[in-house]
A and B are shown apart, each in its own frame.
Chain A
């Protein structure tokens, strides 16, 4: 019997094909590849790490439970982002969140909840001063993104954090190409206005 292939070197379509056969290691590989991008997108949409984790879990489970419908001519990541965006938008519709905080959900009422809903940036700065400055700027941009309309948020995050093309964003979010370009343009204008306090 041939040894199982090293999944880390397989393209997404190959891993998805193995997942279609019910291979648990293929499920894990898909999660390993996309847990950070999907969680980041959802977190920045809903601004609550506990909810983001639950929603990211829902998104992965939805995709993996319907992996038999996946067609290799489409990008697996685009499908994942589509589902992730849908679950985040549904969550926002159910519960409107307006305020952004890197140090916890605005709805947190206790120290435990604040800790549970806060997150740490993966990158760290070189010195304490750099770290404070970096956190301040990072916090400002995160806060500013959180003030954008959810549709602008999805577009700008997919464009800049996930480096997706306009066409991919349009396909992922089921939006016309022109709408995606408009959303990103308007999001940048709004972000410039929201971040003007950084230039003193």
Chain B
């Protein structure tokens, strides 16, 4: 027997009549169980802070008193520095010098680690310009790596976003 193809209208009617199928009755419960409760952005920080609070009441009192003393001391120190600018300048100057020395050491170690000791010596001999160039190169490499990683992550996530 020669079969005639169905007309387009007949195919459309068959498709339109397709029923919707139902999952099992417990489907909604399983979905809701699997959903993480939506929480505000600060919730993890609040939870972490709460974990630091001790259970014993006397420990809470000690913690409260210690925190209060530290807060008062820090506020007083800042107020004193605000009214004694010369002393503050001296402190920051010494701290700044020490920080610069530490930063230079870290930088040299990073350049040695990435580019070798020859490069570190060359950067030192070229002074500020060399340091600037090496920082730029290191920062550029880090940015490129971060960009590539970000692209990969975004492409994966974008597929599932509305």
Contacts and interface: CB of A to CB of B under 8 A. Distances in A.
Interface of A: 19-22, 24, 27-28, 31-32, 35-37, 39-40, 43-44, 49, 52-53, 56-57, 60-62, 64-71, 74, 76, 78-79, 82-83, 86, 119, 121-123, 137-138, 141-142, 145, 156-157, 159-161, 188, 191-193, 195-200
Residue with the highest number of chain B CB atoms closer than 10 Å, among A27, A76, A157: A27
Interface stretch (B36-44, B65-73, B92-100, B113-121): B36-44
Interface of B: 1, 3-8, 11-12, 14-16, 18-24, 27-28, 30-32, 34-39, 159-162
Nearest to A122: B19
A39 B32 contact: no
A57 B27 contact: yes
B5 A192 contact: yes
Contact of A28 (B1, B4, B28, B36): B28
A193 B5 contact: yes
B5 A22 contact: no
18 contacts: A22-B37, A22-B38, A28-B28, A35-B23, A36-B21, A40-B19, A61-B31, A69-B161, A69-B162, A79-B162, A82-B160, A83-B160, A142-B18, A157-B18, A161-B20, A191-B15, A193-B5, A195-B11
